[in-house]
Amino acid sequence: MTKYQTLLYYCYSTIENAELFATTHLEFCKSLGLVGRIIVADEGLNGTVSGTVEACKTYMDTIHADPRFAKTEFKIDDVEEPSFIKMHCRYKAEIVHSGLRDPHIIDPTKRTGIHLEPKEFLEMKDREDVVILDVRSNYEHSLGKFKNAVTLDIENFRDFPEKISELEQYKDKKILTYCTGGIKCEKASALLLHEGFKEVYQLHGGIIKYGKEAGGKDFEGKCYVFDNRVAVEVNTVNPVVISKCFNCGKTTAKMINCANPECNEHFTQCDDCGWAMDGCCSEVCKEHPRKRQYDGTGYYVKVPQQINVNKKGRADFIEELRPVTAQ
């Protein structure tokens, strides 16, 4: 019987006093025993939370009871244990960092690409007049992407706007955008329309929903997620592994963070190289004095670490990345 769930969701909706909302919402989540990461901005909510089935239901019911968030769609995964260690809810300028803050240019509540349900996306994606566009970052699409998708060399979604010029050759095509849960496509598709692309669509609910409702057909590899799971299976129809070990080139689906905290690079690494390199991407990182202990997972969480005692006799703390205990 399922004991825990992980919820992925977003909602573009104006929040008055969003900074105060973030503070009170954090306390509400903690009262339910939830863990996760939520971003609150004037433009809406973006979150992944995890907890017991009962706590998750209470959370979803509460969100839906608020008129501002009544249309929020939750992607629900049953999990064996909570997908986070702590609960964070922070106020930021945007719920997904794009640098596109001019509502006269980009406003997902007014104009975006046409939303395609997973089965509609599946039916359209292989047509000759269609281009599938991945709007995610390099480390995400290197782990998994749709077959024949166009990918962009971007380290972060905020780099997407400057890459629009590389897509000019596709202006006479139907553009089908996709991302993990749909949130990046809301702004990416709106920007494409603003830049003169005529037919722009987006995969509603993203890769996660596509896996649940269309079997994940032709999604090659795994889907990167922003929690302790790191990557999840999507394709139950024709799965393949496409990612390669950064060090030796062997096919592997395992993604880790470099054990050198000053590098902390996301990259794929096979188990053999993981142990040989001590969880590092290079010999330089392997010899770094602050290198973290590698336990085979390559995943590290932030925990408080005392670094000094101040003049008032109280300890000052920093957050130091430490490895999660292997399960």
pLDDT of residue 261: 94
Q: Specify which residues 45 forms β-bridges with.
A: 11, 40
Q: How confident is the model at residue 322 (pLDDT cuts 50, 70, 90)?
A: very low
Q: Is residue 107 assigned to a domain? A: no
Q: How confident is the model at residue 301 (pLDDT cuts 50, 70, 90)?
A: low
Q: Is residue 101 assigned to a domain? A: no
**What's the whole-number mean pLDDT along residues 174-191?**
97
Asked if the model's pLDDT at residue 200 lies above 90, the reply is: yes
Give every CB contact of residue 288 below 8 A, 6+ residues apart in sequence: 260, 262, 263, 280
pLDDT of residue 110: 92
pLDDT of residue 319: 39
**Pick the catalytic residue: 89, 179, 185, 280?**
179
Shared domain check, 79 and 160: no
How far apart are the C-alpha atoms of 174 and 8, rounded to whole Å? 28
The domain containing residue 60 runs over which residues?
4-91
Q: Is residue 23 assigned to a domain? A: yes
Shared domain check, 157 and 65: no
| ∠ Cα 146 148 153 (to 5°) | 80
Number of domains comprising the chain: 3
DSSP state of 326: P
CATH number at residue 61: 3.30.70.100
Question: Within 173-281, where are the H helices?
Answer: 183-194, 206-214, 271-276
Shared domain check, 47 and 14: yes
Beta strands 114-116 and 35-41 are: unpaired
Shared domain check, 228 and 264: no
Low-confidence winner among 15-24, 113-122, 155-164, 174-183 (lowest mean pLDDT): 155-164
**What's the whole-number mean pLDDT along residues 284-305?**
83
Q: How confident is the model at residue 306 (pLDDT cuts 50, 70, 90)?
A: very low
Shared domain check, 226 and 118: yes
Q: Is residue 16 assigned to a domain? A: yes
Shared domain check, 160 and 77: no
CATH number at residue 126: 3.40.250.10
Q: Is residue 108 assigned to a domain? A: no
Shared domain check, 52 and 15: yes
pLDDT of residue 102: 72
pLDDT of residue 302: 57
Asked if the model's pLDDT at residue 311 lies above 50, the reply is: no
How far apart are the C-alpha atoms of 238 and 35, rounded to whole Å? 33
Q: Is residue 246 assigned to a domain? A: no
Shared domain check, 227 and 144: yes
Give every CB contact of residue 151 below 8 A, 6+ residues apart in sequence: 134, 138, 141, 145
Shared domain check, 78 and 121: no
Tell which residue, 10, 9, 71, 63, has the closest CA to residue 41: 10
pLDDT of residue 61: 98
Q: Is 179 considered catalytic here? A: yes
Q: What is the pLDDT of residues 46-98, one digit of tens each?
A: 999 999 999 999 999 999 999 999 999 999 999 999 999 999 999 999 999 88
pLDDT of residue 228: 86
Share of the chain above pLDDT 70, in %: 91
Low-confidence winner among 42-46, 51-55, 135-139, 318-322 (lowest mean pLDDT): 318-322
pLDDT of residue 266: 87
| ∠ Cα 318 321 323 (to 5°) | 145
Q: How confident is the model at residue 100 (pLDDT cuts 50, 70, 90)?
A: confident
Shared domain check, 259 and 221: no
- Half-sphere exposure of residue 215: CA atoms within 13 angstroms, side-chain side: 8
More confident: 322 or 137: 137
Shared domain check, 224 and 137: yes
Q: Is residue 249 assigned to a domain? A: no
Shared domain check, 216 and 165: yes
Say whether 128 sits in a helix, a strand or coil: coil
